[in-house]
Structure 1
Amino acid sequence: MDTFFDFEFTQEQLHVIDSLERSHCSTDHVISEGDEVINIPRTRKRRVILSDSEEDDCDLSPALSGHTPECEWYQPRGKQPRLIPFTEIPGLKPYSLRNQLANATPVDFYSLLVTDQLFENIAHQTNIFAQQSIDKGGIKNKSRLRLWTTTDKEEMKRFLGVIIWMGIVKLPKIVDYWSNDEMLGQSFAKKTMSRNRFEVLLRMLHFSNNEEVPKNDRLVKIRRLVEILNQTFSIHYTPDECLCVDESMIPFRGRIIFRQYNKSKRHKYGIKLFKLCTTPGYTTKVQVYGGKTLDSQDNTPTNVVLNLARNYFGKGHTMFVDNWYTSLDLAEKLVQHDTHLVGTLRKNRKNLPKDVMTGNLKPGEFMAKENKNGVTVMKWKDKRDVCLLSTKHSIGFTKKKNKRGVETIKPKIVIDYNKAKAAVDLSDQMSAYSSPLRKTLKWYKKLGIELLLNTAEVNARVLYESTTKKKISVVDFRRLLAKQLIEGSQENTGLTTPRPRRQKHELKKKEGAAVSTRKFCRDCYKSNVELHGRNVAKNKTKKVSWFCTICPGNPHLCRQCFDKCH
C-alpha cells in the first residue's frame, strides 16, 4: 500500500525521489535530512497479464521466464541442416487404387473415409442411447420416442444424406422441409423419410455409450469418432512435402467449459480444433482442444505440433506454422526427426538474436542471423516488421508479381510460407460452402456433423479431383454425395421407390348406366352360396350398379358390404 506524507519536501529531496522512482529499485530507500529520516516506498513493477494462449506457451522471453543461457548467432552462411529428401508421391494410397477409382463417383471416395463400419457404429450407439432414454422414464404419452424402432447403417446414410441436402437448400426451420405450403414445401425430404423419424433420429444421434464415460475425460463423447476419422484420413492419402498446422473454430455458443474466444476468427466463440493439413486443403489429422486438463503439457504449442506430425517424422516433410507455435526449441526437435520448420516468429521467444529482433528497418530492408545448427532468424520490413524462422532457407530473395501485376522482391521464406500456410484456410473455406451445420445445444452433435459432413466431405472431394482429374464445385459434390448416399441405401434395403400415398376407397356409379350393367354384390353372393348353394344364391342376391374403383377388379358392392370391408 502506498504511503502518504503530511509535510512538504524540499527541491533537492524531490529531485532525489524522482531519480529513485525511475531506477525501479527492489528495496526501500531512505533520505536523511539532519535528524529527520524519510522512508520512500519501493516502486511496484507492472504485472504482465497473458492471454489464454500465451499462458500455455512455455517459450516466453528471459525477462518473463527467468534466466536462460544465450545462444550464439552468426552472419548467415547458408549451412542449413541436411535432412532426408522427400521422395513420396502425393495422392490416393495405396497406389493401386488410383487406377481402380479413375472413374468412380463421389460416394466411392467418401466411403473410403467414412466406412460402413463407422455407420454401423453410429447406428449402434444411437440405438443404445434411445433405449437408455426410454428406460429412464418420464416420456410423455404423445412423445415420438414411444414409437422408437431400431435404426441401421442404411437408414443412417439416408439421415446424413438429408442433412447434407439441407445445407444446400436453406430453410428457416427443419419442419419447413416437410411443409405442405406451396412456397416452402420440398418433395425430396418427404420421399426419403418422414419428418417424425428424422426428428427422433436427430434427437437420439450419439457416438458413444453414456454408461462407459470416464469422469476425467471431457471429450469422451466424440473421442472414438475422432480417432477413427484420423485413421482413415491418414491411411488413404499421401500428403505433399509441405504440411501446415493451424487452428480452426467451430461456431458454438453453448455452455461448455472448453469453449474458446478468438477475436481474429469469423466465428469468435466456439470449439477449437488443431488441424494438420496439406495442399490443396486435405486434413490429415484433427485434435480437439478440451481446455486446460491435468496433463497441461499436451496443450503447449510445441507438443501440439509434435503430436499432430508424429506419423510423418523421418520422411523429409517441411512444417509450416504461425507465430504461436514457432520457437527455437520446436525447430531443434523437428530437425532431430528429419523435418524442417518454417514459420513466423514472436519477438519474445527465448534465445533469439537481440540485434535482429530489436533492429529498426526501412521498407525493403532485412536483418538475419544463423546459429551453429543452421537455424535462420530473419526480420524483413514490408508494410510492417515480419519476423521469420526457418531451418530450410537462408537469406535468398526472389521476384514475384502481385495482384496488380507489379513485380516485387520478397524473401524466399515469405513466398513458401504464404503458399503452404493456405492449406488450413482452403479447408475452412471449402467447409463453409453450403455447410449443413445448424444451431444445437449438444456440442458433440455439432462437432460430429462438422467432422463427418464437412471435414470428411472436403477430403473426399480432394481425393476425387486428384484421382479422376475432374474439376467439380463444392456444392455440386455435396449434391451428388447426398443423392448417392440416399439412393444407395434405398437399393440395399429394397426401397427403390417411395412408398405410395394411401388412397381412399369410394363407391362410384356411372352416370346414365343401363340396367344391364347391374351386377351381383360380390360379398352378398359369396355368403348366399355358402348358405343356400349356387342355384338359390342367384335368386336371393340383389344386383347393384355401385362398384369400388380402388379394389382389384373393381367389384360391385352394396353399401352394407362396402362399409363392412372398408
Structure 2
Amino acid sequence: MQRGNNPLPLMCSRSLQQYKSATTTTNKPARLSKNKGLNLKKYNWKSGEIVNPTPVWSLIFTVAMKKGRTTLEYFQQFFDNEVLQMMVTYTNQYAAKRNTLGDCSEEEMLVFIAILLLSGYVTVLRRKKYWQSDKDSHNDLVTNAMPRDRFDFIFSNLHVCNNDNVDKSDRCGKIRPLLCMLNDRFKQLAPHMQHHSVDESMVPYLGSHGCKQFIKGKPIRCGFKFWCGGTSGGYIIWLEPYQGAGSCTKDNETEGMGHGVVMTYVDQLPPPVPYRIYFDNLFTSVELLHDIKERGMEATGTIRGNGVTNCTLSSVDKMIKENRGSYEICSDSASGISIVRWNDNNVVAVAINVDRVQPLHSVARFSREQKKRISVPQPNLLHSYNTHMGGIDRADQNVSLYRCSIRGKKWYFPIIAHFIDVSDQNAWDLYKHNEEPIDHPTFRRRIVTAILESNKRVTTSRGHFSKRAKLDSRFDGREHYVAELPTDEITKKKEQLKCRCCHKNTTTMCVKCDEPLHVCCFLSYHTSA
C-alpha cells in the first residue's frame, strides 16, 4: 500500500512562493542564542493593544490522499506493509528466542490488529470467549479468521523492537520504532489546516513502570502520559511519551519542559506557513510566544499568574470585583506580545503574539443575581482559543469511546493498542474530509469486516464440545423435544452427528438445545452435567 505525499506539494506553487517572499523566517533551531537571557524583566509592558499585521491564510484545506478509497485503504496508509513487516520480524525474532517457531505472517498480523479493533465495540469478559461456542459471546468473524491458539501465540510474542538493540537510556525504547514510523505517516498524511493545538493525553495502565503517571482529577488518572500535537479538528500529527527529563531534545528543553514540548511540535510543521498554535497554561511562557513568532507562526495560550508578574495588569483580587466581561490588556511593542485578563466566572489570563481583542463576541452566562442567562462580552482571542484548542481532547474522546478492550500483562501492549486506536481515529478523520462522511463505529466496523472476511480460514473440524454450554436452559425441564436430523439433499440419507452424551453417531437431536442426542441418552443429558 503506497502512502500519500506530504501535504505541502499539494499547495499551489504561487501561494508557497508568496509566503516565502513575504517573510524571512527560516527553519531556525528551537532556541536562538540571542534569546537565552530573555526574561519577563526585560519586557517593557504598557497598557493598550498592539495592532500586529495578521498573516493571511490563503491556502485552501487539503488532504494528501486521492478520493474514492475504501475505509481499509485509509487505515492501511498508517499500518502499511512496511509497518506490518517490522512487527512480524520482531515478533518472530522474540518467539525464536523463547524456543518456539516464529512463523507469523503479515496477513496474520493484520488479522490480529483487526481483532483488537473489533474488541473496541464488541466487548467480552475474556478474550477467549470470542472462540467459545456460547451463543451470547461467540463471534463467527473472529473464529473463521484466526484460531484461538494462534491469536494467543501472537499476543504473547508481540514485539515492535529488537531487544538486543534497545536504547537503555530511553525508557520507552520498546515502542520507539513503531512510534517513529507512525509519527512519520501521521505527518505526511496530515490535513493542511491553519489551527493546531498541543496538549497532554493519557493511556490507561495500572501496572508498574517508571513512566506511569498519576494525575488527580483526570478522566484517566493512572497510565502513560503522552505529549500530543494535532489539528483543531482532532487529527493527531505527533506523539511523544513523557518520561521525565529528556522527553524532548536538549536544545528545546533549555527553557523548560513546556517550552520544549511545544517547540518540538513546531519543528514537525513545515515552514514558513503561518500556522496558529494553541496550548494551555502548562506550556505557556512569554519566551515561548517570542520564539514561535520568530518562526513566522502565531500562538495563543492561557498563562498562569506567576508568568505575568511584571505586567501592568490589575491583580486578580481586584479584577474579580469588576463587572463580568471586563478585560485589561498590556503589550510589549518590541516583541509584539500581549497579555489579556478577562473576568468571566473567574479571571483568566491569555498571552498572544498576533491575535487581537477586537471584535468582541457575545457569550451566554447564567447570572445568580438576575436568576437568568445574560450576554457577556468576550474578546476575540478568547473566542478563537475556545474554538480551536480542543483538538487533542476531541481525539481522546473518539479513542476512548471504542478503545481496545483486550488487555495484557506487558507494559507496552496498552501503548501499541493505543497506537492502533489513534491510527483508526486519524484514518476516520481523513475519510470524513475526503469521502462521504460516516460515523466512527461504522468506519471501524467496515475496516474489521473487510479484513476478517477476506482472511477466512478453512476449518476441518467442528471443535470441542463444552460441557458447561447451555447450563441454564439444559436443565430447566421445559420444551425439550426429540427430532430427527435433516436429510442430505444429495445422498438422500439422514445426517449423522456425534451424540453429546455417548459420542457415537446418531440421527436424532434435541430441538431446544440444538444438540445431537440418542433417544436413550436424552434423559441423562438433561438431568446430569
Equivalent-residue separation in structure 1 for 2:410 and 2:346 (angstroms): 43
Of 292, 296, 320, which aligns to 1:334? 292
Asked if 1:260 is matched to 2:220, the reply is no
Structure 2 residue identity aligned to 1:257: G
CA positional deviation for 1:443: 1.9
What is the deviation of 1:285?
A: 0.9
Tell me if the contact between 1:431 and 1:455 (Cα under 8 Å) persists in the aligned partners.
yes
Alignment-derived partner of residue 82 in structure 2: 117
Q: Which amino acid aligns with 1:436?
A: C
CA–CA distance in structure 2, aligned partners of residues 498 and 88 of structure 1? 52
Matched, 1:285 2:238: yes
Q: State the one-letter code of the partner of 2:461.
A: R
2:93 — aligned with what? Answer: 128
Q: Specify the code of the residue in structure 2 equivalent to 1:455.
A: V
Report the counterpart of residue 432 of structure 2 in structure 1: 465
1:454-486 CA-to-partner distances (Å, cap 9, x unmatched) read: 111111001111001x22111111111111122
Three-state SS of the structure 2 residue aligned to 1:69 is helix
Q: Per-residue deviation at 1:359? A: 6.2
1:417 equivalent to 2:385? Answer yes
Q: Is the 8 A contact 2:119 2:404 kept in 1?
A: yes
Q: Return the offset for 1:262.
A: 1.3
Which residue in the other structure is 1:369 paired with?
Answer: 330
Q: Distance in 1 between matches of 2:186 and 2:116?
A: 22
Q: Which has the higher helix share?
A: 1
- 2:404 match: 436
Over 3 Å counting, the alpha-carbon distance change for 1:263 and 1:444 in structure 2 is: same
Deviation at 1:349, TM superposition (A): 1.4
Query: Are 2:123 and 2:405, in contact at CA under 8 Å, matched by a contact in 1?
Result: no
**1:71 pairs with one of 38, 43, 65:** 43
Match of 1:183 among 132, 136, 151: 136
The one-letter amino acid of 2:307's match is: R
Aligned counterpart, 2:22: none
Q: Aligned residue for 2:20?
A: none
Superposition TM-score, scaled by structure 1 size: 0.69
| Distance change in 2, residues 1:283/1:326 (3 Å) | same
Map of 1:543 onto structure 2: none
Mapped partners of 1:341, 1:263: distance in 2: 28
1:486 aligns with 2:486: no
1:380 Cα offset (Å): 0.7
**79 and 359 in structure 1: CA distance in 2 versus 1, 3 angstrom threshold:** farther
Given the two structures, how large is their TM-score scaled by the length of structure 2?
0.73
Say if 2:91 and 2:102, in contact at 8 Å, map to a contact too.
no
- Counterparts of 1:165-244 in structure 2, within 5 Å, are 165-244=118-197
Instruction: Tell me the distance in 2 between the aligned counterparts of 1:76 and 1:403.
Output: 27
Aligned partner (choices 291, 302, 310) of residue 259 of structure 2: 302
**Corresponding pairs, count:** 414
* 8 A contact 2:298–2:353 mirrored in 1: yes
- For 2:273 and 2:328, the matched residues in 1 are separated by 31
2: CA distance, partners of 1:351 / 1:302:
19
Secondary structure of the residue aligned to 1:181 is coil
Identity of aligned residues (%): 21
Could you tell me which amino acid in structure 2 is paired with residue 399 of structure 1?
H
Determine the structure 2 residue equivalent to 1:88: 59
State the 1:149 CA deviation.
4.7
| Residues 260-296 of structure 1 deviation map (CA, whole Å, 9 limit, x = unaligned) | 1211310111101111111321001111112234977
Match of 2:24 in 1: none
Partners of 2:332 and 2:102 in 1: how far apart? 67
Offset, 1:401: 5.0
1:365 counterpart letter in structure 2: S
CA RMSD of aligned residues (A): 2.6
Q: CA deviation at 1:212?
A: 1.2
Q: Cα–Cα, structure 1 residues 83 and 311, in superposed 2: closer, same or farther, change >3 Å?
A: farther
Aligned to 1:501: 461
Query: Whole-Å Cα distance in 2 between the matches of residues 367 and 401 of structure 1?
Result: 18
1:29 aligned partner: none
User: What is the DSSP-based 3-state SS (H/G/I as helix, E as strand, rest coil) of the residue aligned with 1:238?
Assistant: coil
Cα distance in 2 between the residues matched to 1:182 and 1:190: 13
- Distance in 2 between residues matched to 1:86 and 1:175, nearest whole Å: 53
Quote the offset at 1:195 in angstroms.
0.8
Determine the structure 2 residue equivalent to 1:564. none
1:402 CA displacement: 4.1
Instruction: Indicate whether 1:349 and 2:317 are aligned.
Output: no
Deviations 1:383-429 (A, max 9, x none): 11011111122332423454999644211111100111111111001
Cα offset, 1:500, TM superposition: 4.1
Task: Give the C-alpha shift of residue 354 in structure 1.
Answer: 4.7
How far does residue 328 in structure 1 lie from its aligned partner after superposition? 0.4
1:77 positional shift? 3.7
Aligned to 1:382: 344
The higher radius of gyration belongs to 1
Q: How big is each residue's C-alpha offset from its partner over 1:364-397, in whole Å with a ceiling of 9 and x where there is no partner?
A: 2111101112211011100110111111223324
Q: Which amino acid aligns with 1:341?
A: A
Post-superposition shift, 1:216? Answer: 1.7
Structure 2 stretches lacking a partner, 5+ long? 1-36, 367-372, 465-506, 508-529
Task: Give 1:84 shift.
Answer: 4.9
Residue number in structure 2 paired with 1:158: 111
The alpha carbon displacement at 1:501 in A equals 2.8
Query: Which of the numbers 182, 192, 204 marks the counterpart of 1:251?
Result: 204
Shift of 1:360: 1.4
Identify the residue that residue 446 of structure 1 maps to in structure 2: 414
Does the aligned pair in 2 maintain the 1:342–1:389 contact within 8 Å?
A: yes
Q: Which amino acid is the alignment partner of residue 422 of structure 2?
A: T
SS at match of 1:376: strand
Q: What per-residue deviation string (whole Å, max 9, x for no partner) do you get for residues 493-523 of structure 1?
A: xx5x64243699xxxxxxxxxxxxxxxxxxx
Distance (whole Å) between structure 2 residues aligned to residue 149 and residue 180 of structure 1: 29
Aligned with 1:317 (options 275, 298, 310): 275
Q: Is the 8 A contact 1:76 1:394 kept in 2?
A: no
